[in-house]
Amino acid sequence: MIRHELKAMIDEFRKVSLQPDFLNSRTQSESFAKQLINSRCGNLNKTELERLLILCNTERVPPNINTYELAKKDTCTRFRLSFIGANKKNIITDLESCNKWISTLWNTTDDMNTLKMFWKEGSIKGAGIGFPTMILYLKNPSKYNVWIPFLSNALKILTGKDIELKKDIKNYIEYNTVINTIFMRDIFTPGIKPQEIDYIIFRFGLIKNCSLTTGWS
């Protein structure tokens, strides 16, 4: 796929992600999540932690990819299974560790070494790669992206880069570098907002039997 075709596909996906209700749902949910962390950092109760996970996963998107019309209500689907179901239950169960690490990741001045420590300790069942990188994304959405398996695999479709899913900061740095390199280029994504990026990558992840050669490296 050549570059003008790639740009056309991104423009097509942005017919959804540029809609005000799409952006408002995500930006407002993220704002509420940040307020919750700032006000209760290190002291969240189970109800508040569950609320935080719901906010992180909230979006308003079309009911299917064959329409641009958004659903009438928000859904808890933004990062697929990362913050719902069994994962949510496991995360909430370990309230003490969650409070410790949310506070640590939120307040550290050394994000990558702190993330490395989080993964080395590995005490929060269900947290995986999504939970800590969500905290970093909320902290600095212009620099960090939420890392989950589906988005990493989708990025391979978009760029050809196969980033290992091992919990390693080198892999997460590469993931961010690839994404930020693509979406910083205004020729493809003028004025793009952080809240659009994971949706666009998600849409590429739905493409079957397609190999893109785009020269991003």
Q: For residue range 132-180, what is the model confidence (pLDDT) as tens digits?
A: 999 999 999 999 999 999 999 999 988 888 999 999 999 999 999 999 9
The domain locations on the chain are: 3-205
Tell me what pLDDT residue 152 has. Answer: 95
Would the pLDDT of 109 be above 90? yes
Provide the CA 155 distance to its chain's centre, in angstroms: 12
Would the pLDDT of 212 be above 90? no
Report the pLDDT averaged over residues 95-112: 98
Tell me what pLDDT residue 158 has. Answer: 85
Tell me what pLDDT residue 77 has. Answer: 96
In angstroms, the CA 84 to CA 198 distance is 18
Tell me what pLDDT residue 217 has. Answer: 39
Tell me what pLDDT residue 2 has. Answer: 59
Question: Which of these ranges, 1-15, 56-70, 125-139, 190-204, has the smallest mean pLDDT?
Answer: 1-15
β-bridge mates for residue 83, sequence order: none
| 3-state secondary structure string across 4-67 | HHHHHHHHHHHHHHCCHHHHHHHHHHHHHHHHHHHHHCCCCCHHHHHHHHHHHCEECCCCCCCC
Tell me what pLDDT residue 185 has. Answer: 65
pLDDT digits (tens, 9 = 90+) for 42-62: 999 999 999 999 999 999 999
Tell me what pLDDT residue 101 has. Answer: 98
Would the pLDDT of 39 be above 50? yes
Confidence category of residue 208, pLDDT binned at 50, 70, 90: low
Sequential DSSP letters for 84-128 = SHHHHHHHHH-HHHHHHHHHHHHH-S-HHHHHHHHHHH--STT-T
In angstroms, the CA 128 to CA 91 distance is 10
Mean pLDDT of the chain: 91
Confidence category of residue 214, pLDDT binned at 50, 70, 90: very low
User: Could you tell me the pTM of the whole model?
Assistant: 0.93
Percent of the chain with pLDDT over 90: 80
Report the pLDDT averaged over residues 183-196: 79
